[in-house]
Structure 1
Amino acid sequence: MTATRYDRRMYAVMNDRRAAAAYATMTRRRLLVGAHVALTVTGVGAWIGTVFGPGLGQAVVVVVVMFPWILLTGLLNGSTCGLLELRGRMLDERQLVERDRVRALAHRITLWLLVAAVFGAGAYGLLADAPLRAAVTPVLIGVLAAHWMMPLWVAGLRVRDDLGDDES
């Protein structure tokens, strides 16, 4: 199938190297992923607090966290050259294999996160002598957010450094 105008535009956006200095090294990408994880946890936690807690004070945190979270998401997508965002027809065979590896690893990590969440919610129900349903919904929302973001985080950590012009 041939590439559409949308495919070509997204390919150009995802392969725009103007911000490459921000994710040029493994250390920088690890910092980006760590900051993205922290902002995701903060934003999702604040959103859960807004929905399930008293008042709307946490909504301000969600709004404040949103802009840097979007910026870091774009940087991580740029660091992977759109590995997870581009359609398969825009990726070469190596990229398709890498995307499958990233998704498989993210799936395994999320599986263990789900196992931990089940045990954590069960322990909360036993230790706090509270109904389990009090912990289940917020925990499920947190795990859903992690499931959604895990492939991007894994891809960001797996990207190799670009070789410079002087390195062959």
Structure 2
Amino acid sequence: MTARETPEPSAPTAYDRRMYALMNRDGAGPFHATAARRKLVVGAHVALTVLMIGSWGAAQAMDRTWPLLVMIGLLLPWCLATGVLNGATHGLLELRGRMLDERQRAERDLVRARAHGITLRVLLGGALVFVVLHALGDRDVTVSLSYALVVAVIVHWLTPLWLAGLRVRDEPADD
């Protein structure tokens, strides 16, 4: 095989078929049937994520365990919202490329590229905050830096899902 030839895509595995079936179930259909509902689910997912990050930060700052219990309590609704978003996108970001058609692969690439730009802006904003804090003489920026890095990783991880959830088109109506 030469460098210009591309290998044949491998056949779907049992895992691929199970994930495809899971991501294309209609169980959560009423939750993401319209654009307004998908926006609501994305907003709820963002809010739950912010609350969980805030709970973890509060636990670190106050040296208490009750914020961690709040975070654990938010985990189930967060997982449900994640499942609804994955169902709305039909597993766009979760399925392997061999299970997606060309249109879906192009959409996934577009979502990832836009999410990358948003993540870049978040990181630049965080860097600016730390430059300002350092200039103002705040000597203990290491705690803030570790918290900001965790937030940046979470934003990097979840932004594609949020964007994909917002970009999904309504299913065509049955005749």
TM-score surpassing 0.5? yes
Query: Does the aligned pair in 2 maintain the 1:122–1:132 contact within 8 Å?
Result: no
Structure 1 residue 45 displacement after superposition: 1.8
1:155 aligned to 2:173?
Answer: no
Comparing 115-124 with 73-82, which one deviates more in the overlay? 115-124
Structure 1 residue 127 displacement after superposition: 4.2
User: In the TM superposition, what whole-angstrom CA distance separates every residue of 1:83-131 from its partner, at most 9, and x where no partner exists?
Assistant: 0000111000100000000000000011001111111233334447333
Match of 2:42 among 16, 33, 44: 33
What one-letter code is carried by the residue in structure 1 that aligns with 2:115? A
Separation in structure 2 between the aligned mates of residue 67 and residue 124 of structure 1, nearest angstrom? 36
- Count of matched residue pairs: 166
Query: Does the aligned pair in 2 maintain the 1:23–1:29 contact within 8 Å?
Result: yes
1:19 aligned to 2:61?
Answer: no
Comparing 151-160 with 133-142, which one deviates more in the overlay? 133-142
Comparing 101-110 with 39-48, which one deviates more in the overlay? 39-48
User: In the TM superposition, what whole-angstrom CA distance separates every residue of 1:25-53 from its partner, at most 9, and x where no partner exists?
Assistant: 11111110011001001111212332453
Match of 2:173 in 1: 164
Separation in structure 2 between the aligned mates of residue 38 and residue 129 of structure 1, nearest angstrom? 29
What one-letter code is carried by the residue in structure 2 that aligns with 1:96? R
Change (3 A) 1:74 1:125: same
Separation in structure 2 between the aligned mates of residue 22 and residue 128 of structure 1, nearest angstrom? 49
Secondary structure (helix, strand or coil) at the match of 1:63 reads helix
Match of 1:72 in 2: 81
Match of 1:136 among 128, 134, 145: 145
Structure label with greater radius of gyration: 2
Secondary structure (helix, strand or coil) at the match of 1:164 reads coil
Secondary structure (helix, strand or coil) at the match of 1:18 reads coil
* Superposition misfits of 4+ residues, deviation over 6 angstroms: none
Residue identity (%): 48
Instruction: Give the alignment's Cα RMSD to 1 decimal.
Output: 1.4
Match of 1:101 among 86, 96, 110: 110
Query: Does the aligned pair in 2 maintain the 1:77–1:83 contact within 8 Å?
Result: yes
Match of 2:72 in 1: 63
Q: Which runs of 5+ in 1 are unaligned?
A: none
Separation in structure 1 between the aligned mates of residue 131 and residue 116 of structure 2, nearest angstrom? 22
Separation in structure 1 between the aligned mates of residue 62 and residue 159 of structure 2, nearest angstrom? 26
Query: Does the aligned pair in 2 maintain the 1:121–1:139 contact within 8 Å?
Result: no
